[in-house]
Amino acid sequence: MLRKRSFFVLAAMMAISACASGGGGGVTPPVVPPVTPPPPPYASNCTTTPGAISCVKTGTLQMDGPQIGLRFDSTVSTYTFDNFQIYRKDALPQIAQETWVLGFLGGASVIYKYYADFESKNDGLGPVRVGKSYINDIGGLKPGGTGALTLFDITNVLQGGLDYVQLGEVAPNPVNGAYTFFAVGRTAATPVMPNTGSARYDGGTRGIYVDGANTTFSTASDVTMTANFGTGAVNGSTSNFKMVNAAGSAVTAPAGLAFTFNGNIAGAKFTGTASNAGMTGNVSGAFYGEPNGAPVEAGLSYNLGSATGGGSMMGVGGLKKN
């Protein structure tokens, strides 16, 4: 009798299981789509671009380029840090990876910020590498300090990646939690500027937008620029702004954020003005390439504001010759 009861209980359990798995009209569990991992960071082809930032594996790289942000003395500046360097591993043996050193030389004392141990992430607008803050102690560099250095990897559909320009953000600066954005390249990558012809450059921007209620959002956009080397003029525009809030969630960017700009070339650098529907400001930039080569890339910074309390925006862009 016990054997028969066990048999009927087993048969009933099998029937219930069959219904739950879809047989006999049971509920089918939802299909969860696979999570798409972020794309790998852009990698330079060191055979064709030996002077690219990432292709110089040893020594100390002196960097220069447009910046926008708040200096340590609380003044808004287009040259926030006085000195940019990248130490490769043989220049700083105690750090296995590269170390960025940012120096502020004004005021009563010299201030250096050190960042290393970069980790690849996605900040909601694209791939980034985030470096931890270090302090220079008696025994060498040690973890500590405040803030982080974020290096942006521009990989939009227009130009794929940058070899000679690195976009980044230091946040927060020690003053009022401010942001500093930069678009720097190797000092040795100053190109030979042509004096005839023109070229189009395409790329992307990263920055912030502060609305009229003083809420800050991170932004990204496409940017295009034409350089007329015969007349020494540049003009360009941004489009397709994307935006995330402080929590990293996507929000709709105001249509009026896209701006146009124009300026003049002096040597390998350019300066000019920028405007959109409700803001005006300025833009500055520089051209880069192989040492003594052609100007195949450009970096720029922008800073726009509203005189009527309608908000402000700042950031940097990196572009590659089309």
Range name among 58-72, 98-112, 247-261, 290-304 with the lowest pLDDT average: 98-112
Instruction: Write the CB contacts of 294 (distance below 8 Å, at least 6 apart in sequence).
Output: 191, 192, 194, 321
pLDDT of residue 95 exceeding 70, the answer is no
Enter the tokens of residue 227.
């350089």
pLDDT of residue 124 exceeding 60, the answer is yes
User: What was the pLDDT predicted at 175?
Assistant: 53
- In this prediction, what percent of the chain has a pLDDT beyond 90? 56
Instruction: Write the CB contacts of 300 (distance below 8 Å, at least 6 apart in sequence).
Output: 66, 183, 223, 225, 270, 283, 284, 285, 286, 316, 317, 319
**Which has more pLDDT, 205 or 96?**
205
CB contact at 8 A, 312 and 210: yes
**What phi, psi does 65 have (nearest 5°)?**
160, 175
**Domains assigned to the chain:** 53-321 (2.40.160.90)
Indicate the residue type of 132: K
Place of tokens 């302090």: 135
Q: Which residue(s) pair with 182 in the sheet?
A: 67, 168
Range name among 47-51, 158-162, 275-279 with the lowest pLDDT average: 158-162
CA distance 100 to 224: 29
pLDDT of residue 5 exceeding 50, the answer is no
pTM of the predicted structure, to 2 decimals: 0.84
Mean pLDDT of 28-54: 79
CA distances from 74 to 66, 77, 101, 211 (A): 18, 9, 20, 21
CA distance 204 to 221: 6
User: What was the pLDDT predicted at 90?
Assistant: 63
CA distance 211 to 188: 39
Mean pLDDT of 149-174: 82
pLDDT of residue 18 exceeding 80, the answer is no
pLDDT of residue 28 exceeding 90, the answer is no
Range name among 43-52, 124-133, 170-179, 207-216 with the lowest pLDDT average: 170-179
Q: How confident is the model over 262-299, as pLDDT tens digits?
A: 999 999 999 999 999 999 999 999 999 999 999 999 99
Instruction: Count the neighbouring beta carbons within 10 Å of the beta carbon of residue 237.
Output: 17
Confidence of residue 195 (pLDDT cuts 50, 70, 90): very high
Enter the tokens of residue 146.
């405040």
pLDDT of residue 58 exceeding 90, the answer is no
Q: How confident is the model over 140-150, as pLDDT tens digits?
A: 788 887 789 99
Instruction: Write the CB contacts of 126 (distance below 8 Å, at least 6 apart in sequence).
Output: 152, 153, 154, 155, 156, 206, 220
Range name among 104-108, 128-132, 147-151 with the lowest pLDDT average: 104-108
CA distance 45 to 320: 15
